[in-house]
Structures are given as structure tokens and as C-alpha cells.
A and B are shown apart, each in its own frame.
Chain A
Amino acid sequence: MLKNVTLGQYFPGESLIHRLDPRTKLLATVALIAIVFVVQGFAGFMLIAAFVLACAASTGIHLKFLFKGLKPLMFIILFTFILNLFFQSAGNALVQVGPVKITDTGLRMASFMAVRLILLVVCSQLLTLTTSPIALTDGLETLFRPLQAIHFPAHEIAMMMSIALRFIPTLMDEADKIMKAQKARGANFETGSLIQRAKAMIPLLVPLFVGAFRRAEELALAMDARCYRGGAGRTRMKQLKFGRIDLLAAAVLVLLLAAVILLNRFVAF
């Protein structure tokens, strides 16, 4: 059933990367993405790929999950690849059919862009695979807390995200139930023209929204009953604390950046 699916793609574990502070992981992912953009040649990519794969291997997560996230983006990656391949006129022609030609520079550019995109996706994938959604929201809330000084609602946004995460499986389950009930009354969600199908959704959406509002009201009451008064004066049971491993992670990233810069300088590939 739908409710048995954990949301996001978090894989619980005890590895070094799992134990990193979520803020470290968030910042590290941003840094890693920045480093990917610093890279100028394939040598740098190979280094980063090796690094990411080593990280992934240390978490004990099967590599296939790491690349699963590529599937929905395959189209964009391919599109970028082809665009670069065909519309690069500089360089020596490798293949030429009529006005369309593929040059060596084009092939290099296309592969470069594709690899860059793949690395970007895999990096963020590593973050969501090793960090629970709740830790992610906590991390984001703490990172954005300084912005509260300029009235940025960091706590409210984090609370909303956390409630959304909590209720998405519940609402999916409910949608499934309502759909079955309306099907039992002869509803047809699968066939018909686009307009007919859109109309067929009304008996699903109205009860779903009514239900969501009812739940929201009850939840608000339950939160009131447990003394919720917004973010002011609130403490957290789990305090985010930077430890030695976070320092280590920062050091590793600095080294990685240095290595990439050196590779850019001295290796032409």
C-alpha cells in the first residue's frame, strides 16, 4: 500500500556520511556543485566521480539507487548532449551528412555538458539518500535562521515542510481510497477525452480537499493543545552540532577543490 512507502528516498544507515550534520551535508552539496562548475577538463570530472562513488560506496547504499535519480532527467541530459553535438561548428569534422556535421570540439563539448549534468544529479542524490527529510528540514531551518532578522519565516517554512512530509503519505492513501469508492460507483478515470477525464477527477478532488481541510483543522487544534505558539521560545530535542567529522568533511572538500584547480592548470585532458 502507498502508506508503506517512505517519502523521499532516504536510506537509513550509520556510515560516516549518514552521521554528518545535515547542515554540513547541505553546504557540502552546494560546495560540490560549485566545484563541478570549476572543473575545466575530464580529468577533474574523473576525480570528482571517483570521490562521489567512494562516498556512495562508504554509505553501503546500492549504486543503482544513486543512478535512479537520473532516469527522470535522462531526457534533458540527452537533449543537452544532442544540442551541443550538432550545433558546434568549430573544430575538425568527424562526420558530415549534408549541412549537419559533428566536430571533435562538438563531441567534447557535448560529453562535457552531459557528464557535468550527471555529476550534479548524482551529488544531490547522495544528499537525499543519506539524509532523512526531517533532518533536511532541520538543517535548512538552522541555516536560514539568521535571515529571521530580516523577517524571513525560517521556522514557519520548516514547520510547513515537515507537516507536508508527514501528511503526503496519508493523503495519498486517502486519494487511493476515494478513487476506489468512486470506481465502485461506476466512475471511469482512465478513458475518454482530456476534458472528460478532467471532469472525472472532480469526484476525487472535492472529497480529497474537504478531507485535507478537515485534517488541517484537527491538526491545528492538536498543536494548540500541545502548547504550540510558533517558533519563538521553542527549543529542539535534537540539537544540531558540528563535530570532528564535519571538520573532516570540510577539509576533504577544500583538498578536492585544490586538486581540481591543479588539474585544470596542469592537465590538458
Chain B
Amino acid sequence: MKKPIIEARNVSFTYEGAKKPAVDGVSLTVMEGEFLAILGRNGSGKSTFAKLLNALQLPTAGELTVNGISPATEDDCYEVRKSCGMVFQNPDNQIVTTIVEEDCAFGLENLGTEPAEIRRRVDDALRSVGMSDFAQASPAMLSGGQKQRVAVAGVLAMRPRIIVFDESTAMLDPIGRRDVFSLARRLNLEEGITVVWITHFMEEAALADRLVVMDGGRIALEGAPREVFAKTEKVLSLGLDVPEMMKLTRALRDRGVKLPEGLMTVNETSLALRRLPRSQSGAAKSASTMSKSVKAHRPVIEVNALTHVYMPGTPFEAKALDSVSLRICEGEFIGIIGHTGSGKSTLISHLNGLEKSAPGEVTVNGVDLGAKGTDLIAMRRAVGLVFQYPEYQLFEETVAKDVAYGPTNLGLDAAEIDSRVEWALRQVGLDPKEVGEKSPFELSGGQKRRVAIAGVLAMKPSILILDEPAAGLDPQGRRDMLDLIRGIHDAGTTVVMVSHSMDDVGRCCDRLYVLSKGEVAYSGTPAEVFLHDRKLHEIGLDVPECAKLARLLREAGFDMPEGIYRAEDVCDAIVRNLRGGEAAC
């Protein structure tokens, strides 16, 4: 019989000076050995709740028991933290020392454990997370996913009964994310550790035993992932998303396909569809999606055989770019995909002359950036570059002044600057009157990012390059950000978006370049690129869920056009394949 290990009764917490409680009367019981996921938009109180579980904050009202302790005194808090470990979001900001195994020992050293025992437990913990080979490494040399595994090992060494993961995968690339999630799942299944998994990723939440959705500090929905996601409208209204398959099967049901409710994964959906009667004709001819109209405009950026070597002549020498060639035409929406370290960020730094390399050539609007005497300021005016987490670059007292920084550097006159600031803020969906005089540091995360993008837009670039513009945002923020960028593109700007989300680039982009180890591995329309799904998986990238489903169905004898990946197209093709499907069309 499982026992409750966390019991919250009417727990509330109000930050000092805040009017509204961040956590507002939450009652929740977590059983020993459970894998509980908590979802919720930014500001829904889930991170605050996590801090209460770890006794980093104490409830201002209500009663919270963690592993049999209701923390009241400092010593209680200490006891709670011993049994309930926590892994935070930013992998860089939770590692204390310069050697992996020393960091892993940090918690046990604080507990005053015997040195020999620390040694043994640290070795065990590192083995358990698969980081033994890196015991002597410096954390600065590790990838984000590896750093998070070290953080897990540091918690694990303390032999906790509960581990709380507070958006621990938010800053990782798909490989790192998969890695850390499956590690948590394995610790839960094999070692019986209770896991509280806070996330913005629906596909992770879908794999939990139970799901809690928070909103405004309260629990809005609770239940098995299937049950919760089945309330699609409600989930969307809470600023979240439902797994792609849930949306697809719903659309299919709406078109008369008899599918059960609650299908969440590609495999389940494929199995259910294969059980349905197929149309006899087999001649369910469907138009190929391959022939997408390619706009034949003039090229605005051309890269020829660009090679970039980091720290040449040192032991750390590495080829970041290896003979990369690409061409971006006026008015296109280009996606550049690749995992961390594939050279994406290095590549875009070359596109407006921030970095220069030989051999290789980069031309913007026909001007060679490497040539002597090239006016780089003019190039930066032509090519706007928004880096990852651009909100961390804000510095001015007011939003308006910050946005004005770029235009001022261009030497424009005051009236023009003012009008551009106003225009740029409107472009990103902010009201210049409302936010213009505020400090950028007062704004919410999503708003800050918009201000940072406005700061680049105000230079009126004809080409806009964005590095992971949706990273770390909640699902609603993600949708809004992509809409915003599509709007900028529709208004006539050429857009290059760097991403590791195939879903995002599939939805937005005309053409894609896939980078792997500094080389262009694949390029073409999304449909053309997604044909290489197996190989993409090998280099750590995924194709959209619908493309995966299409492949499984094609292998099962369905007539699915090659390279199909959009939900609407996949839905159409499935309906045509099923008996009576034509009638429903």
C-alpha cells in the first residue's frame, strides 16, 4: 500500500509586499513513488509551489507535510531539504565548484557525512546519471544536458526520497531534454524516487502518472494526462497546449472518423487507425505536398564555403563551421536547425559581419562582408540580429530609451528615432504609451523579450535573424512569439529563424537548413527535409509528430504522400484512406 509522501492542505504563499498570493489554497497529495507533472503558464505559481516543497519558502497559510515533516523551524527546513532534492532550471547557476565530482559531493559535505561515505555515494550517483567519465571535468566544458545530469547526481548523492525538477529541461536542446527526462523517469521507476516534474513541454507531461495544471496560484485541473488533455478547450484557455496527436485525433473525429478519445502518442494513434476499415479502391490519390511554390526572388544573403575554426593552434581547436554554403532570397522565411554545438550561432554571427572567417565568403545584398572597407554599420542596419534570450541585453532606464539605442547608433535625428521607437514597439504588440516610460526590468519575461526584439526592429532591417526566439517561453508565449514573427515576415521582412523545434520551423518556414557538426546536412522545403526522418533522429533532431504518424501509416500500407507533415494535410490523407472517407470530405 502506497503512502502519501507530500500532503498539502489549503497551502498559500504570498511574497512580501505582494497583493495577491502566488500560491492560493492548494490542496494536493502526492503518493510515494509517483511521477507527478505540474503544468501552468508563467506566473501560475508552480515554481513557488516547488520552493515550498523544498522548504526554501514556508507557507503563509495552510499545512504542508513533506516526508512526514511540517517545516516550521530552520532545522525542520534542513530535514525537508535532505529528503526532498531540487533541480533548477538554469544548469549554470546551480553548480558550485569547478570539478564535477566536488560539486556532486557538495550536499553531502554540508550534511557532515563521513568522507569515505561521501566518496562512495558520489561515485554511485555519478554512475547512476552516466557521468562517471566526467568526474574530473570542469562544468564549463559540459553541455547543458550534461550539467543538468551533474545537478541530478548532486541531489541523488544525498539519497532523497523526492526530487523536484523545476523546469529543468527548459534551457536544453532536444537531446539534452530527452536525456534528463528519461533519467528522471528511470530514477522514479527503478529507485522508487517520487518525482515532481514542472515543465512547459506537453510531451513530457503526457508521460507522467498524474498531471496537475496550475493557474493563478490554484489547481485548475488534475488527473491522468489523458483525462486532463481531453479537456482541450480548457487546457488551451489556461495558456497551455495539448499533445499534437490529441489535436489531430480530435480533428479526425470531427470529420467522422471513429477513433477513441484520449490518444496521445504517435504509436497509439497509428495502431488505432490501422484497426479501422480501409477504403477498397486504394486509389485514394492525393496531391503531393512536395511542389510548394518556390518564390524566385533575388538572393539577399549568400554564403559560400564558409569555414570557421575556434581557437586555432591550441589544444581546444575546433571546427565550428566546415565549408557551409547557403543562399537566402528576398522575402523568404528560412529556418536553420541543429542541436547545441552544431554551429548555428556561429553561422548567424557571420551573416552581419560580427565574425569573419577565411576561407569562405559572405555577401549581403551583393556586398562582400570580408572585403576591406565594407561599411559594417550599414550591414548591421540591413541585417538585424536577435540573439538567444535577448532580454538579458536590456540596459536602459526606460523601454523607449532602450529601443532607441540602435537607431541612435545609426546617427538618426531625434524625430526619426522617436517615430521608429513607437513603430517598433507597436510591431511587437506593445503599447508605446503604456510601456515606453517603464523600466525594462519591471516587465514580464515575455514582454522583455518583445522589447529586445523591438530594439532590433527599430533599425528597420530588411533581413531579420532570430536565434531561438521562443526558447524558455510557455506554450501561449511560444504561440504569440511565432505569430509575431510571422507578422513581421508578412509585412515584407526576410526572416531567418534558428531553432531546434521542428514543429516551429515546419509551421513557419519556406526552406530549412539542417546543420550538424558544422556542416549543412540537409536543406530544402520542410517536406523535403522531413523525408530524412531517420537520419535526423540520429543527429538528435526530431520531425513533427504528424510526419512521424504519416510514416508509420505509410509503412502499414496507407497511401500517404511523401514528405507530408502539416496536421491538416495528414488529416486529409487519413480521411481519404478510410472507408467512407471520401464521403466525409
Chain A residues proximal to chain B, CB less than 8 Å = 1, 3-7, 12, 132-134, 162-163, 165-166, 169-170, 174, 177-178, 180-188, 202-203, 206-207, 210-211, 214-215, 218-219, 221-229, 233-239
Contact = CB atoms under 8 A, between A and B. Distances in A.
Contacts, number: 161
A85 B380 CA distance: 55
A186 B118 contact: no
A223 B102 contact: no
B409 interface: yes
B385 A228 contact: no
B98 A162 contact: yes
B190 interface: no
Give the one of A133, A178, A227, A228 with max B CB within 10 A. A227
A170 B93 CA distance: 10
B119 A237 contact: yes
Interface residues of B, number: 68
B54 A178 contact: no
Contacts of A6: 138, 140
Interface stretch (B3-11, B107-115, B181-189): B107-115
B352 A184 contact: yes
26 contacts: A1-B310, A4-B316, A7-B98, A132-B98, A134-B98, A162-B96, A184-B384, A185-B406, A185-B459, A203-B393, A206-B395, A207-B395, A211-B392, A215-B90, A218-B90, A219-B94, A222-B93, A222-B94, A226-B154, A235-B115, A235-B118, A237-B108, A237-B109, A237-B115, A237-B118, A238-B115
Nearest to B402: A203
Contacts of A163: 96
A132 B99 CA distance: 10
Contacts of B110: 226-229, 234
Contacts of A239: 115
Nearest to B394: A207
A239 B96 CA distance: 19
B311 A4 contact: yes
Contacts of A235: 108-109, 112-115, 118
B140 A185 contact: no
Contacts of A186: 377, 380-381, 406, 409-410, 459
Interface stretch (B77-85, B191-199, B225-233, B552-560): B77-85
Looking at A185, A234, A238, the one whose CB has the most chain B CB atoms below 10 A away is A185
A203 B405 contact: yes
A233 B316 CA distance: 40
B139 interface: yes
B387 A184 contact: yes
Interface of B: 51, 54, 56, 78, 81-82, 85-86, 88, 90, 92-99, 101-102, 105-115, 118-119, 122, 136, 138-141, 154-155, 158, 310-311, 316, 318, 349, 352, 354, 377, 380-381, 384-385, 387, 390, 392-395, 405-406, 409-410, 441, 455-456, 459
Interface-centre pick from A133, A180, A181, A206 (highest chain B CB count, 10 A): A181
**Which 4 interchain pairs have the tightest Cβ spacing?**
A186-B409, A222-B94, A206-B395, A218-B93
Contact of A227 (B102, B158, B310): B158
A214 B90 CA distance: 11
Contacts of A1: 310-311
Contact of A225 (B86, B384, B390, B393): B86
Contacts of B136: 12
A215 B389 CA distance: 15
Nearest to A178: B393
Query: Which among A163, A174, A226 has the greatest number of chain B C-beta atoms within 10 A?
Result: A226
A133 B51 CA distance: 33
B442 to A, nearest CB: 13
Contacts of A219: 93-94, 96
Contacts of B349: 180
Contact of A188 (B105, B141, B409): B409
Given A165-B98, A184-B385, A235-B109, 16 more contacts: A132-B99, A162-B98, A169-B140, A174-B392, A182-B393, A184-B352, A186-B380, A186-B409, A207-B392, A215-B93, A218-B94, A225-B88, A226-B106, A234-B112, A235-B112, A236-B105
Contacts of B455: 185
Contacts of A178: 392-393
B456 A183 contact: no
Question: Which one of B96, B113, B122, B405 has the highest number of Cβ atoms from chain A below 10 Å of its Cβ?
Answer: B96
Contacts of B96: 162-163, 166, 219, 222-223
Contacts of B97: 134, 162, 166
Contact of B387 (A134, A180, A215, A234): A180
Contact of B107 (A3, A133, A162, A227): A227
Nearest to B352: A184
Contacts of B158: 226-227
Contact of A185 (B93, B112, B405): B405
A236 B115 contact: yes
Contacts of A214: 93
Contacts of A215: 90, 92-93
A207 B393 contact: yes
Contacts of B54: 225
Contacts of B118: 235, 237
Nearest to B118: A237
Find the residue from A1, A174, A184, A202 having the highest chain B CB count within 10 A.
A184
Nearest to B89: A218
Nearest to A228: B110
Nearest to A200: B409
A157 B184 CA distance: 35
Contacts of A180: 349, 354, 387
Contacts of A223: 96, 106
A219 to B, nearest CB: 5
Contact of A166 (B81, B82, B98): B98
A221 B395 contact: no
A202 B140 CA distance: 27
A235 B116 CA distance: 11
A239 B94 CA distance: 24
Contacts of A238: 102, 115
A228 B455 CA distance: 41
Nearest to B84: A225
Given A132-B99, A225-B81, A184 B109 contact: no
A237 B94 CA distance: 19
Contacts of B56: 221, 224-225
Contacts of B154: 226
